[in-house]
Protein backbone atom coordinates (compact mmCIF):
# COMPACT_ATOMS: atom_id res chain seq x y z
CA UNK A 1 0.00 0.00 0.00
CA UNK A 2 2.85 2.38 0.83
CA UNK A 3 4.46 1.68 -2.54
CA UNK A 4 1.18 2.58 -4.32
CA UNK A 5 1.04 5.96 -2.49
CA UNK A 6 4.66 6.63 -3.37
CA UNK A 7 4.00 5.97 -7.08
CA UNK A 8 0.89 8.22 -7.03
CA UNK A 9 2.91 10.94 -5.30
CA UNK A 10 5.67 10.71 -7.95
CA UNK A 11 3.13 10.83 -10.79
CA UNK A 12 1.47 13.87 -9.18
CA UNK A 13 4.82 15.66 -8.93
CA UNK A 14 5.61 14.88 -12.59
CA UNK A 15 2.20 16.20 -13.70
CA UNK A 16 2.57 19.40 -11.66
CA UNK A 17 6.12 20.06 -12.91
CA UNK A 18 5.04 19.39 -16.51
CA UNK A 19 2.08 21.74 -16.16
CA UNK A 20 4.24 24.51 -14.70
CA UNK A 21 6.91 24.04 -17.38
CA UNK A 22 4.38 24.26 -20.21
CA UNK A 23 2.61 27.22 -18.63
CA UNK A 24 5.75 29.23 -17.97
CA UNK A 25 7.41 28.46 -21.31
CA UNK A 26 4.33 29.49 -23.28
CA UNK A 27 4.21 32.98 -21.73
CA UNK A 28 5.41 35.79 -24.00
CA UNK A 29 8.23 37.92 -22.76
CA UNK A 30 6.96 41.08 -24.49
CA UNK A 31 3.21 41.25 -24.02
CA UNK A 32 1.48 43.73 -26.35
CA UNK A 33 -0.61 46.10 -24.29
CA UNK A 34 -3.69 48.03 -25.45
CA UNK A 35 -1.61 51.21 -25.54
CA UNK A 36 0.89 49.65 -27.96
CA UNK A 37 -0.94 47.50 -30.48
CA UNK A 38 2.04 47.75 -32.84
CA UNK A 39 4.13 45.28 -30.90
CA UNK A 40 7.87 45.06 -31.37
CA UNK A 41 9.95 47.22 -33.72
CA UNK A 42 9.87 45.99 -37.34
CA UNK A 43 7.44 43.14 -36.60
CA UNK A 44 4.04 43.55 -38.27
CA UNK A 45 0.86 42.80 -36.36
CA UNK A 46 -1.91 41.39 -38.57
CA UNK A 47 -5.55 40.69 -37.85
CA UNK A 48 -7.75 38.90 -40.39
CA UNK A 49 -11.42 37.99 -40.48
CA UNK A 50 -13.69 37.35 -43.49
CA UNK A 51 -14.96 40.98 -43.17
CA UNK A 52 -11.90 42.94 -41.98
CA UNK A 53 -8.14 43.09 -42.34
CA UNK A 54 -5.55 45.11 -40.49
CA UNK A 55 -1.79 45.41 -40.79
CA UNK A 56 0.22 47.54 -38.38
CA UNK A 57 3.94 48.01 -37.95
CA UNK A 58 6.21 50.17 -35.84
CA UNK A 59 9.11 50.46 -38.29
CA UNK A 60 12.66 51.63 -37.81
CA UNK A 61 14.75 52.03 -40.98
CA UNK A 62 13.34 48.97 -42.75
CA UNK A 63 13.66 48.13 -46.41
CA UNK A 64 11.60 45.20 -47.67
CA UNK A 65 8.52 44.27 -49.66
CA UNK A 66 5.72 41.97 -48.58
CA UNK A 67 2.57 40.75 -50.26
CA UNK A 68 -0.05 39.47 -47.81
CA UNK A 69 -3.27 37.57 -48.47
CA UNK A 70 -6.19 39.39 -46.82
CA UNK A 71 -8.53 36.38 -46.61
CA UNK A 72 -11.43 38.81 -47.08
CA UNK A 73 -14.79 37.61 -48.35
CA UNK A 74 -16.34 40.99 -49.22
CA UNK A 75 -16.93 42.98 -52.42
CA UNK A 76 -17.66 46.36 -50.80
CA UNK A 77 -14.93 47.70 -48.54
CA UNK A 78 -13.70 50.89 -46.86
CA UNK A 79 -9.95 51.53 -46.83
CA UNK A 80 -8.03 53.47 -44.20
CA UNK A 81 -4.23 53.83 -44.33
CA UNK A 82 -2.17 56.12 -42.11
CA UNK A 83 1.39 56.90 -41.14
CA UNK A 84 2.32 58.52 -37.82
CA UNK A 85 5.60 59.27 -36.07
CA UNK A 86 7.31 59.39 -39.50
CA UNK A 87 11.06 60.12 -39.52
CA UNK A 88 12.53 58.74 -42.77
CA UNK A 89 12.12 56.91 -46.07
CA UNK A 90 8.86 56.00 -47.74
CA UNK A 91 6.24 53.29 -47.81
CA UNK A 92 3.89 52.41 -50.65
CA UNK A 93 0.76 50.31 -50.29
CA UNK A 94 -1.09 48.61 -53.14
CA UNK A 95 -4.38 46.78 -52.73
CA UNK A 96 -4.76 44.03 -55.31
CA UNK A 97 -8.15 42.60 -56.18
CA UNK A 98 -9.51 39.64 -58.02
CA UNK A 99 -7.96 39.08 -61.48
CA UNK A 100 -4.76 40.79 -60.15
CA UNK A 101 -6.38 44.19 -60.61
CA UNK A 102 -4.71 47.08 -58.74
CA UNK A 103 -7.63 48.53 -56.79
CA UNK A 104 -5.75 51.21 -54.85
CA UNK A 105 -2.21 52.54 -54.48
CA UNK A 106 -0.79 55.20 -52.19
CA UNK A 107 2.66 56.29 -51.05
CA UNK A 108 3.69 58.08 -47.86
CA UNK A 109 6.80 60.22 -47.37
CA UNK A 110 5.54 61.91 -44.19
CA UNK A 111 2.79 61.72 -41.57
CA UNK A 112 -0.73 61.55 -42.91
CA UNK A 113 -3.61 59.36 -43.94
CA UNK A 114 -4.96 58.23 -47.26
CA UNK A 115 -8.02 59.87 -48.77
CA UNK A 116 -11.25 58.05 -48.01
CA UNK A 117 -11.64 55.20 -50.49
CA UNK A 118 -14.32 52.61 -51.09
CA UNK A 119 -13.87 49.47 -53.13
CA UNK A 120 -16.99 48.14 -54.80
CA UNK A 121 -17.63 44.99 -56.85
CA UNK A 122 -14.14 43.57 -56.21
CA UNK A 123 -12.64 41.45 -53.46
CA UNK A 124 -9.46 43.03 -52.02
CA UNK A 125 -7.42 39.83 -52.06
CA UNK A 126 -3.85 41.01 -51.42
CA UNK A 127 -1.97 43.88 -49.84
CA UNK A 128 1.48 44.71 -51.18
CA UNK A 129 3.62 46.88 -48.90
CA UNK A 130 6.99 48.25 -50.01
CA UNK A 131 9.25 49.90 -47.41
CA UNK A 132 12.38 51.86 -48.37
CA UNK A 133 14.46 52.95 -45.36
CA UNK A 134 11.14 53.67 -43.64
CA UNK A 135 10.80 54.73 -40.01
CA UNK A 136 7.36 55.41 -38.57
CA UNK A 137 4.10 53.68 -37.69
CA UNK A 138 1.97 52.33 -40.54
CA UNK A 139 -1.64 51.24 -40.12
CA UNK A 140 -3.74 49.63 -42.84
CA UNK A 141 -7.40 48.79 -42.28
CA UNK A 142 -9.89 47.30 -44.71
CA UNK A 143 -13.43 46.75 -43.44
CA UNK A 144 -16.71 45.71 -44.98
CA UNK A 145 -18.67 48.78 -46.05
CA UNK A 146 -21.74 49.31 -43.90
CA UNK A 147 -24.49 50.93 -45.90
Between 36 and 101, the more confident residue is 101
Q: What pLDDT shows up at residue 93? A: 97
Those residues with Cβ within 8 angstroms of residue 43's Cβ, 6 or more apart along the chain or in another chain: 57
Mean pLDDT of 98-122: 93
CA distance 82 to 19: 43
3-class secondary structure, 20: helix
Task: Give 40's pLDDT tier (boundaries 50, 70, 90).
Answer: confident
In the predicted model, is pLDDT for residue 124 greater than 80? yes
Give the residue among 74, 133, 142 at the shortest CA–CA distance from 108. Answer: 133
Structural domains in the chain plus CATH codes: 45-144 (2.60.120)
DSSP for 70-131 reads -----SEEEEEEEEEEEEEEEEEEEEEEGGG-EEEEEEESSSEEPPPEEEESS-EEEEEEEE
Q: What is the DSSP letter of 42?
A: T
Give the residue among 71, 70, 74 at the shortest CA–CA distance from 122. Answer: 74
Between 106 and 116, the more confident residue is 106
Q: What is the pLDDT of residues 43-98, one digit of tens each?
A: 999 999 999 999 999 999 999 999 999 999 999 999 999 999 999 999 999 999 98
Mean pLDDT of 135-141: 97
Those residues with Cβ within 8 angstroms of residue 50's Cβ, 6 or more apart along the chain or in another chain: 71, 72, 73, 74
Amino acid sequence: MLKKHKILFQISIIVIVSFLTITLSSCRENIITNENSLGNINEPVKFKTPESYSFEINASKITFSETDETQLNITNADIFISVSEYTSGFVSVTIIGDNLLNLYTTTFTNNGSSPSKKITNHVPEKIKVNFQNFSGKLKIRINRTIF
